[in-house]
Chain A
Amino acid sequence: MKFAVTVTLKKDVLDPQGKVVGQTVKNMGIKDLKQIRQGKFFEIEMNEKDSVKAEAQVKEMCEKLLANQIIEDFKIKKAE
């Protein structure tokens, strides 16, 4: 069972990399850009077949390691 996890900085936390990327996009002439936030993406494959049990373990991973919840949010998506 596959999952896709994205980790991004919380809204209130300054994302300097996203800002620079956004500025560069504007400089390239793409004027309609509103905002870019940069984050991390994880492709996760689990042996567990039961989707509820598998997702619970992915959630545990996110909370304990993949995201620092003081400054980051995470989103879990089932990939299949």
Chain B
Amino acid sequence: MKSSVIVFPGSNCDRDVAVALEKLQFKNSMIWHKETELPKSDLIVVPGGFSYGDYLRSGAIAAKSNILSEVINAGKKGALILGICNGFQILIECGLLQGALLRNSGLKFISKDILVKVQSNKNKFFNKYKIGDVLKLNIAHNEGNYFTDEKHLEELENNELIPLKYCDQKGNIDLKTNPNGSINNIAAIFNKNKNILGMMPHPERMADKILSGEDGLGLFLSLMN
């Protein structure tokens, strides 16, 4: 499998995700945002961080960079795209995913381990998990409060386009287990064709047993399936 990780000024999870991919023998390339051509890749990752210092809105400037038009073209042709944290914000700003990521309802930057429940696994990203699996992942964001209109929310809910929701240890999904005010406890969404995934939690931070845990590893393993 060939992968490309896009790097912006201010990206800071690019190396972590590359390490996770290379551990699983992905042939990975790091692609600087000024590039105008994307190498042929089975997977494109838009990593977390603070691209352009979050100027204007998180992800807004990165969404207009050279390489993003290539990413958009590839996504429309069906390439697998994974946006993590700031990457999710960028995918929303460039229109590959619908909705918006607002400031956390508690007004604070949140950096902590949280639990999410797997809601769908008939897709390229979560086929190694079982529905109902509770995963420990890490979040670190200021704007992770997902919001969308009722019609789109219904579409997401009815078509298995919400693979992860925040929950507690028993898998309860409610306001108490919602860290950032995200509508319906949404932690991740797909586009209609399920080839583009945006998620606020960081799977690459849970890809090593010794360092933190490996609940995120299944996502990368799923992609190889």
Chain B associates with chain A:
yes
> Residues of A with Cβ closer than 8 Å to B?
13-14, 16-17, 20, 40, 64-66, 68, 70-71
B residues adjacent to A (C-beta < 8 A): 56-57, 60, 64, 93, 99-100, 102-103, 105, 107, 147-148
Interchain CB contact under 8 A, A65 and B105: no
Whether A66 touches B105, Cβ cut-off 8 Å, given contacts A71-B100, A71-B147, is no
Q: Which residues on the A side are within 8 Å of B57 (C-beta)?
A: 68
* Cβ B107 vs Cβ A13 within 8 A: no
* Interface SS, B side: loop
Additional 14 contacts, C-beta under 8 A, given A16-B105, A17-B107, A70-B99: A13-B102, A14-B102, A16-B107, A17-B103, A20-B107, A40-B56, A64-B64, A65-B56, A65-B60, A66-B56, A68-B93, A68-B100, A70-B148, A71-B102
Distance to closest chain A CB from B86 (angstroms): 15
Give chain A nearest CB distance to B61 CB in angstroms: 8
Q: State A70–B147 Cα separation when bound (angstroms).
A: 9
> Which of B60, B64, B148 contacts A68 (CB under 8 A)?
B60
Which 7 A-B pairs give the minimum distances between C-beta atoms?
Answer: A71-B100, A70-B100, A16-B107, A16-B103, A68-B57, A68-B100, A71-B102
Q: For the complex, what is the distance from the CA of A20 to the CA of B56, rounded to whole Å?
A: 20
The answer to whether A14 and B105 have CB atoms under 8 Å apart is: yes
Residues on A with C-beta less than 8 A from B93 are 68
Contacts of B102 in A (CB 8 A): 13-14, 71
